[in-house]
Amino acid sequence: MMVNVTSSGTQRPLRRNSQTDEIPTMSAEEQIKDTVTTNDVVLFMKGTKAMPQCGFSNHVVGVLTTIGVEFQDVDVLADPEIRQGIKNYSDWPTIPQLYVKGEFVGGCDIISEMTMSGELDALLDKSGVSYSKEAAKKIRDANG
């Protein structure tokens, strides 16, 4: 298992081993699979959760942070192979991409709709991911 991304915003390129700084032998696809299966919630985004580099990525970070979901961020701008690889992996052309328990959930628009409809709550409940129901309701009340 590769644990070479941090959630602090000081992220290294995903495919670089933080101990040796060498590019591991895993392919981009293997790295992606490993990341989404060893973390409950993963957001592939432009920039880091501390410093998003795109409005769409920023929006999803905002939703997840507001409702208190712990997630692993992966900056696709740090590695072109991951940037292309994640699009192939999900057959989805845009970033950000949210994964819960290894399953692709959607991008910015889908996450926004699911937040408003309560489907995101249902998915997190079903997946055993902790979050604040109250905060999710507040988002709905403020935007409804």
Partner 1 sequence: MPMLANDIEALIRETFPDAKITINDLAGDGNHFSAEVVEESFRNLNRVQQQRAVYASLKGKMDGAHGELHALQLTTKAPD
Positions touching partner 1 (CB under 8 A) are 56, 84, 87, 91-94, 104-110, 113-114
CB of 115 to partner 1, least distance (A): 13
| Least distance CB 110 / partner 1 (angstroms) | 5
> In the complex, what is the shortest distance from the CB of residue 30 to partner 1, in angstroms, rounded to a whole number?
22
Are the CB atoms for 43 and 94 separated by under 8 Å? no
- Nearer to partner 1 by Cβ, of 21 and 109: the residue is 109
Q: How far is the CB of 22 from partner 1 (least distance, A)?
A: 27
Question: What is the Cα–Cα distance from 119 to 59, expressed in whole angstroms?
Answer: 17
Could you tell me which residues are beta bridge partners of residue 72?
Answer: 42
Give, as one character, the DSSP assignment of residue 67. T
How many whole angstroms separate alpha carbon 140 and alpha carbon 116?
5
- With beta carbons less than 8 A apart as the criterion, state whether 46 and 97 touch: no
DSSP state of 22: P
- Choice between 94 and 130, CB closer to partner 1: 94
Of 29 and 119, the one with the shorter C-beta distance to partner 1 is 119
